[in-house]
Structure 1
């Protein structure tokens, strides 16, 4: 009897605790506005359109996130190995000046945007951000190929990029 209850509980947890994996971004996400390094507002759709035809590695991060900073060497190794991909950094920082200083301090190369609503914006809700860093990969057609990775050296990132 205990075994049956355990199996039922495990099955319920597995089906109800897993996140929905999306392959298309919603209109709300695509229309959400971010701020580039020059201070201009840019929609998520504009960001993706600028790099249409290329694989895009999206890194949701923040300067206050220890795991984000500690993972930078692995991210830089990925960039060196997979240099044909676009690296799009979306910062959940609370302050634009801190965001900019951190990019400069750690020489984070890629395309950078500030998320005015942080992880509470449309993208954060859509992908259910519960941890950063958070990596996604969007293919050359604009479909999400990798929905969730939390470490730059996650083997799924390289597998998806190949």
Structure 2
């Protein structure tokens, strides 16, 4: 009996990892972000600015050790795929720390802040952000082609950038 319960729990837990939406929810698209000038946008407005381009979204924070460790691999992606838009969504709740992190680590790309942080908000809920960094790839048609990567070195990122 215990073995059967363990097997059922295993399938329930792993089935959650297979969630691969291809479009953002309406609620996620309506979530609020701020640029470095503190101008307010909906996530949909941000995505519309890059319509027709491939986008790599990096959900990160200046205090996140794994995010910082992944920057060299992300910069390598930027070198290999310069035509791609790199959209950095910070979950820093301290705006000054976020801005200092961009400067200190010389992060090139488009920068926005999710002011509610990592635990609240429709976009982080949709992405099911339980760990950062988190990478999402969107193709030229606005379709999510890679929903969940936790390392910039994930070979699936390059694969979808080459194929989409």
Task: Identify the TM-score tier after normalising by the shorter chain.
Answer: over 0.9
Secondary structure at 2:146's aligned position in 1?
strand
| 1:141 match | 141
What is the deviation of 1:105? 0.7
In structure 2, distance between residues paired with 1:152 and 1:36: 23
Per-residue deviation, residues 63-100 of structure 1 (Å, max 9, x unmatched):
00000011111110110001111000000002111100
Structure 1: 4+ residue segments shifted above 2 A: 8-12, 14-20
In structure 2, distance between residues paired with 1:10 and 1:146: 28
What is the deviation of 1:12? 4.4
In structure 2, distance between residues paired with 1:11 and 1:77: 41
Please, which runs of 5 or more residues in structure 1 have no aligned partner?
none
Matches within 5 A, 1:1-162: 5=3, 9-10=6-7, 12-17=9-14, 18-19=16-17, 20-119=19-118, 120-162=120-162
TM-score by length of 2: 0.91
Give the superposed CA RMSD. 1.6
In structure 1, distance between residues paired with 2:28 and 2:6: 34
In structure 1, distance between residues paired with 2:11 and 2:78: 34
TM-score by length of 1: 0.92
Please, which runs of 5 or more residues in structure 2 have no aligned partner?
none
Per-residue deviation, residues 21-73 of structure 1 (Å, max 9, x unmatched):
21111111111110001110011101111000011000000000000011111
What is the deviation of 1:16? 4.0
In structure 2, distance between residues paired with 1:44 and 1:139: 16
